[in-house]
Amino acid sequence: MTISRAECAALDAADPLGHFRDEFALPEGTIYLTGNSLGAPPKTVAAAVARVMGEWSDRLVGGWNASGWFDLPLTTGDRLAPLIGVGPGQIAVGESTSIAIVKAVSAALGLRPGRRVVVSDPANFPTDRYMVEGLVRALDGYEVRRLEDLDATLDDDVACVLMSEVDYRTGDRHDTAEVTARVQAAGALMIWDLCHSVGAFPVDMSRADFAVGCTYKYLNGGPGSPAFVYVHPRHQAEAEHLLTGWCGHAAPFAFEPGYRPAEGIRRFTVGTPHVLSFAPLHAALDIWERVDLGAVRDKSVALTSLFIDLVDGFGASYGLGLLSSRDAGRRGSQVSLTHPEGYPIVRALADLGVLGDFRAPDTLRFGFAPLYLRFTDVYDAATALGEVMEKGHWREERYRRRLAVT
């Protein structure tokens, strides 16, 4: 496909989501294709944080009651619920995705006594694998099984399966309804990692048993914003997880010597809510509550398809390969390319104002956040990539020096 920049500008003019771009703070001259790693900040974040600071200054410790700080994990969870296709009282927000994985997997194991196997997809983000392996080491008698072929992996020993809806490297997407049905038919519980899907397209976890996810990627909650865990209502009365912190107690201010789990989703809270970290997330949710997720998906497909088509025009001649699926239905909102010199290429692109990221050993990742990315941005990014490859900018020694965060 051949398309001009003028045609891309016409697409921008007709974009039903185009007005949302003005609600985000983006540096002039930057094309931000790293929203799949850290989303851009809403312009209202500073005011949102200032409001919480004002509550702290005015109310001091009284803010826990008067400002609803103690209930933030649950009230925020109810705001997130529509984004993953579930209802109120089903999500607890707090801590990190790594901690949420321990909550979900340990609870699933307790619900399937006698089954001793956790199945983990080797394509999961490393923290998913690391946390499950650490949990199994701490719980005597359990084992982790690598997911290869799903039907061959499932047997009467499998308690739960942990998979990512979108592969963090390739950007490829699973059919969650189909996989969930197969896992549950085998008597196991399904846990989904939504870090690279929530906010990128409509998500439906209503059939899943558990789900976890972060809020700082496509949801724009800010660096280190709190993660979430979803628990299906059918499990909430029985599910008990390993991290029995005081906020999940049935009566936290009774200060009882023993632990009694709270009713419902509150038992999946752990420690004191990080109140200041919730403020940027709330600013982002103020935007997301006005967004048509179907329109987000339509634009995501159009943006990623445009980028693939543009790179196809020159990529192969410079050794660039397409790692992501060409089938838009199997893609999230990310396009991954491969090249043996992927890291210096990404660094050279950044100096031209195009921010992507790199994943070892050879993957260049580009995330397409439909709320603030334009079609002209995609055109210009592909043009810049072509320039980097044609002129060999990436060969400069300075681009080979690895930064701590890639």
Catalytic residues: 125, 193, 216-217, 365
Token reading at 362: 């050879």
- Residue 67, CB half-sphere, CA atoms under 13 Å: how many? 20
Give me the DSSP letters along 183-226: HHHTT-EEEEE-TTTBTTB----TT-SEEEE-SSSTT---TT--
Q: Output Rg (C-alpha) for the chain, integer angstroms.
A: 22
Dihedral sign (CA 366, 369, 370, 375): negative
Closest by Cα among 108, 163, 161 to 139? 108
For residue 114, count other CB atoms closer than 10 A to its CB.
7
Token reading at 83: 């984004």
Q: Are 223 and 40 in contact (CB under 8 A)?
A: no
Token reading at 295: 């329109």
C-alpha to C-alpha distance for 202 and 197, rounded to whole angstroms: 8
Token reading at 282: 């709330």
Which residue's structure tokens are 């399937």?
A: 112
Residue 309 one-letter amino acid: D
Q: Are 82 and 294 in contact (CB under 8 A)?
A: no
C-alpha to C-alpha distance for 55 and 373, rounded to whole angstroms: 34
